[in-house]
Amino acid sequence: METKRHLIATGRVQGVGFRQFVAATARELDITGWVRNRADGSVEAVVAGTPEAVEIMIERTRRGPALAAVTDLKVGDAQGTFERFEVLPTV
């Protein structure tokens, strides 16, 4: 059974390698979906995978890479089918 979650991270999350961190973590955990910067300074992602992998992904995203400072991580349900994990352009 696949779990899908929509994530929005706020804080110091742009310009610190956050999207690359999320993408590398997704590849490590065999998660599909996408990540992108948003014009408001947040980072948004949709992640899909086993329930265990998605929970690990959420916890790692909450911490972020060394230079990031995540002040909030909103987690909601997501829809969609994904073949791989992608870094998308800013919206």
Number of domains present in the structure of the chain: 1
- The reply to whether the predicted model has a pTM over 0.85 is yes
For the chain, give me the number of helices (H) and strands (E)?
A: 2, 5
Range of 30's domain? 3-87
14-20 average pLDDT score = 94
Q: Which position among 37, 38, 60, 62 bears the catalytic label? A: 37
What is the C-alpha to C-alpha distance for residues 48 and 83, in angstroms, rounded to an integer? 10
Greatest alpha-carbon pair distance for the chain in Å reads 35
The answer to whether residue 19 is catalytic is: yes
Residue 1 pLDDT > 90 = no
pLDDT digits (tens, 9 = 90+) for 34-80: 999 999 999 999 999 999 999 999 999 999 999 999 999 999 999 99
Q: Which position among 19, 27, 38, 84 bears the catalytic label? A: 19
pLDDT digits (tens, 9 = 90+) for 25-35: 999 999 999 99
The answer to whether residue 63 is catalytic is: no
Residue 46 sits in a domain of what CATH number? 3.30.70.100
How high is the pLDDT of residue 21? 97
